Amino acid sequence: MGSYSREDILRLVEEEDIQFIRMQFTDLFGQLKNVAITASQIGRALNGEIMLDGSSIQGSVRVEESDQYLRPDLNTFAILPWRPQYGKVARLICDIYNPDGTPFDGDPRNILKRTLKKAEELGYAFHVGSELEFFLFQTDEEGRPTAKTSDEAGYFDLGPLDHGESTRREVALALEKMGVEIEASHHESAAGQHEIDLKYTDALAAADNIMTFKLAVKTLAQKNGLYATFMPKPLRDAAGNGMHVNMSLFQDGRNLFYDETGERKLSPLARQFIAGLLEHARGFCALTNPVVNSYKRLVPGYEAPCYLAWSESNRSALIRIPDPRGRGTRVELRSPDTACNPYLAFAACLSAGLDGVTRELTPPPAAAGNLYAMTAEELAERNIRGLPASLDAALRAMETDGVVMEALGPYAIRYAAGKRREWEEYRTQISQWELDNYLASC
Ligand code: GLU
Ligand code: MG
């Protein structure tokens, strides 16, 4: 992210021959939205005078209170590298405001900012780095997405087996141009599956970067004749798409999770944060894993977590502590998937961690061994519970988790209601599996 004044932006629009500016925001359910304005309107845009009809946005306001305003965050100014380079297109990520000048409670960016402010009051800066997985599939003759790939590569493989090399390269280059720092990119374990890791940054920029990342991947995949999907589990017998979230708390540039003298070189603060995450992991699951399909990924055997446990390095646990210590000390939460609204997911995770800190919770002992291989009895003996098995169960866990509901604020109820409708629609479908199993036998 840059650091721009109003004058910088007016000058850049002129000098760079920018003809359109996209005013972007994210709706409650994680969908990126934008309205394009012409360069002649930039003054009004910077004054926060561009309006939107909130009642037409999912999860937003009612018809009778529909006027809302977009106030751009100047530091998010970036030119879209994949649009024409004459008559360029820039974007500004915006906050949504009510006509009375107050921030809109249902704006996910505002929800995250509110939580970050609470952390700041306690003296903490919340840093996040994310590992984003996705599939690149082929399209059919009519250009519609399929779940097919001719790519035969696996983990860390390279061309010619890897058919997504060009797309990954273009995404990495485009994002770097936009000020998003990429740490690594590689082929993932399933055929057609890829991962790009974003360097850690403050949580607001991290969430903005994820929204930018998803747009870049979808757009550049299409340019390469492929279709990108972040669907959590598109194929039953292959790994799903995770979004591992690496979290740490900083103070005056110092990583507070690191303690040279602590057990495993982790500070008491890091332990309390882990305990908070474990305490609320069921409660925030409907946010980190927001769609019906999310729960088909959280099954044993594909490096996705299903149990509430933490571990030094075991990839079957919900929380892992990757090896680096010092500045790089972090807690890796492995449950989130790329379908989530990152603003809400980060707000919920931070609130959960901070709850552990303020209540000085102690985490259970780190889990040893492969959790996937444990029997129900072995898990019960160790007091290890599971993550919710469906969106329905996750919503029930969320509605009874005061910390998560408070993190979302007044719009928690609207989020849950929207997701409940999605669940009900799914619940009443008759699937091929049911027909195959019951038509003849019943
Ligand atoms: N794709 C796995 C998941 O669903 C994660 C693989 C990895 O460890 O990167 O979370
Ligand atoms: Mg991965």
Distance from residue 32's CA to the centre of ligand 2 (Å): 24
Residue position matching structure tokens 């005061």: 402
Question: For a pocket test of ligand 1, which of 293, 303, 316, 323 has the largest count of ligand atoms closer than 8 A to its C-beta?
Answer: 303
| pLDDT value of position 63 | 64
Q: Which residues have CB under 6 Å of ligand 1? A: 133, 239-240, 242, 297, 302-304, 315, 334
123 shares a domain with 79: no
Distance CA 121, CA 44 (A): 33
Query: 337 lies in a domain?
Result: yes
The torsion of the CA quartet 394, 399, 401, 404, rounded to 10 degrees, works out to: 90
Measured in whole angstroms, the distance separating CA 116 from the mean position of its chain's CA atoms is: 16
- Which ligand sits closest to the CA of 304? 1
244 is catalytic: yes
150 shares a domain with 78: no
195 is catalytic: yes
Q: Of 55, 75, 104, which residue is a domain's last?
A: 104
346 shares a domain with 228: yes
> Quick one: tokens of 269?
């603060």
382 shares a domain with 234: yes
Distance from residue 218's CA to the centre of ligand 1 (Å): 20
375 shares a domain with 271: yes
> Quick one: tokens of 367?
């889990």
Query: 66 lies in a domain?
Result: yes
Query: 128 lies in a domain?
Result: yes
406 is catalytic: no
Q: Of 104, 136, 161, which residue is a domain's last?
A: 104
With beta carbons less than 8 A apart as the criterion, state whether 167 and 224 touch: yes
242 shares a domain with 94: no
152 is catalytic: no
Strand partners, 52: 68
380 shares a domain with 399: yes
Question: For a pocket test of ligand 1, which of 130, 131, 133 has the largest count of ligand atoms closer than 8 A to its C-beta?
Answer: 133
- 435's enclosing H/E stretch is helix 432-438
Domain of residue 94 covers: 6-104
Query: 91 lies in a domain?
Result: yes
Q: Give one DSSP letter per residue of 337-357, joined into a string.
A: BTTS-HHHHHHHHHHHHHHHH
196 shares a domain with 148: yes
168 shares a domain with 98: no
Indicate whether this model's pTM tops 0.85.
yes
132 shares a domain with 91: no
Q: Of 57, 81, 104, which residue is a domain's last?
A: 104
Distance CA 77, CA 116 (A): 22
> Quick one: tokens of 168?
């990954």
From 83, 114, 186, 315, active-site residue? 315
SS3 for 199? Answer: strand
Distance CA 265, CA 256 (A): 11
Please list the alpha-helical segments (H only) found in 158-202.
Answer: 165-177
> Quick one: tokens of 313?
């390095």
Distance CA 363, CA 270 (A): 10
Measured in whole angstroms, the distance separating CA 2 from the mean position of its chain's CA atoms is: 21
SS3 for 306? Answer: coil
- The one-digit pLDDT tens for each residue of the chain (442 residues) are 678 999 999 999 999 999 999 999 999 999 999 999 999 999 999 999 999 887 777 777 666 667 899 999 999 999 999 998 889 999 999 999 999 999 999 999 999 999 999 999 999 999 999 999 999 999 988 888 898 887 777 776 666 556 677 888 899 899 999 999 999 888 888 889 999 999 999 999 999 999 999 999 999 999 988 999 999 999 999 999 999 999 999 999 999 999 999 988 999 999 999 999 999 999 999 999 999 999 999 998 899 999 999 998 777 889 999 987 888 999 999 999 999 999 999 999 999 999 999 999 999 999 887 888 888 888 888 888 999 999 999 999 999 999 999 999 999 999 999 999 999 999 999 999 999 999 999 9
Q: How many structural domains comprise the chain? A: 2
Query: 441 lies in a domain?
Result: no
From 195, 197, 392, 401, active-site residue? 195
188 is catalytic: yes
97 shares a domain with 164: no
298 shares a domain with 231: yes
Query: 442 lies in a domain?
Result: no
The CATH number covering residue 396 comes to 3.30.590.10
Angle between helix axes 342-358 and 268-280 (nearest 10 degrees) is 120
Query: 440 lies in a domain?
Result: no
| pLDDT value of position 271 | 97
| pLDDT value of position 258 | 97
Distance CA 79, CA 176 (A): 11
The CATH number covering residue 55 comes to 3.10.20.70
